[in-house]
Amino acid sequence: MGTPANPALAYSNSQDNLQVLKQLYSDDAWVMKDLVFNKNRFLSMVDKDETEMGLGGLNFPIPVLYDVGGGGSANLGTAQTYQTAPATASFLLTTVNVYRVGSIQNQFLRASAQNIGAFMPAAKMNVKSLYMGAANDIAYQMFSDGSGTRGTYGLGAGSIVAGVITLDNLGQVYQFSVNMALNSFSIAGQTATQSTGGAIGYVVAVDTGAGTVSVSPTLQGAIATPSGWSTAFPYLGRAGDTLFSTNGLNSANMLCIAGLGAWIPSVAPGQSDSFFTQNRSVSPTKLAGLRFSGGSESIQDCLIDATNQLAAQSSEAGDPDVIYINPVSYQTLVKNLTGQGQYQMIRAKVNEEVEISFKALVLPTANGEISIIQDRNCPGQTAYITTMKTWKLRSLGKIPQFLTFPGFYDMLGFPIPGQDAVEIRVGGYLNLSCNAPGANAVVALPQ
């Protein structure tokens, strides 16, 4: 019996040969600048370690000093009796994978070998899509909690009617693409449970204006609700991004990057917390960041108060320096500051070859000025106040990169068993680390 056909697998039928791809993408600078970092601000700003030592081994320890210890006294003997060691933690960071795959029929590889110029635009377009897809996946996950959730439709005003999903937060719509294969699931503690029957829903249409995602039980089929989908399984994630097993969302098991939403959760860690082997409930602010609710304040006052409260903690990491917010909240803030807003240009050195710049709003606080940057991947009505030197994106190699086996399949293509075609892979092996979570905050904004 042969291997069953994959209904979602589509080969490109107008491509050039692999050597042309090598030539087109040998200049990493423009690839990284134009396709990866220009629109993904936190990804561009965060420090990166792209060496083999950056995330090697079974895990990578991230030590944190979160308390100087409780010993001390006005009496020397008493101080000696009750002396304590500094309180430390070590997060044992593990690696997750990001993949984007494209397949090319061998016939077109050979046909293009003698006519390179004619196939240049198609090669550039297709490989550009792989790079952009991988970069957008990484940038989105940099703000996520590692669960693979891209949106919800039953935790607020969202719904599903005849296959049309109205998302709880309309801004989540940008995390979906046509033909994306989705799971619908519920979450209880650190366990995700797939919808009854485990049916896949394929995205048929995305309406960014209405904040709706239309799905079908079949690839490119008619819009309809997949079997078992309902608001009882309100979380939506891309197929393969969520581990559906007991404690599958534990940091040691999660399949996606532990982003800002995981390191600085909006709900304080409880007694059962185990984040990269550490129970953060012993010091939930210093080990899992500050949580601040804006209530009825304006966005400006909310951010000022939250920044001042965070700075008052006097972290050895220093004062916070950058705030990331969703574009909708950013524009609301700009409107409220009409005629009063001040801006500055931020220069980000992405790596040794790439440097980009973009405009940031300047917010005056009691502890000095802080830059506010909009990032399309930041959740709606949420801000992250960061001390940037505490963060590092660790990767085995460049972010993202062509995934090859040097010296074996180093010409970018992998032969597909049983098929007259090759497969191109773009992605990375990486995770986000923080050596002082208490120097950062998550803020619930009023708008």
Phi and psi angles of residue 366, each rounded to the nearest 5 degrees, phi first: -65, -20
Strand partners, 371: 322, 362
Instruction: Average the pLDDT over each of 11-25, 200-214, 249-263 and give the range with the smallest value.
Output: 11-25
Summary mean pLDDT of the chain? 83
Would you state the pLDDT for residue 237? 97
Mean pLDDT, range 282-306, rounded to an integer: 91
**Residue 117: CA atoms inside 13 Å, Cβ hemisphere, count?**
0
> What Rg do the C-alpha atoms of the chain give, in angstroms?
24
- Residues 88-106: tens digit of each pLDDT: 778 889 999 999 988 777 6
Q: Which CATH architecture has domain 11-146+249-444?
A: Alpha-Beta Complex (3.90)
pLDDT band at 17 (very low <50, low <70, confident <90, very high): very low
Instruction: Average the pLDDT over each of 157-161, 213-217, 341-345 and give the range with the smallest value.
Output: 341-345
Structural domain boundaries in the chain: 11-146+249-444, 149-245
Phi and psi angles of residue 5, each rounded to the nearest 5 degrees, phi first: -70, 145
- Residues 263-288: tens digit of each pLDDT: 999 999 998 899 999 999 999 999 99
Dihedral angle, C-alpha 124, 356, 378, 134, nearest 10 °: 30
pLDDT band at 383 (very low <50, low <70, confident <90, very high): very high
pTM for this entry:
0.86
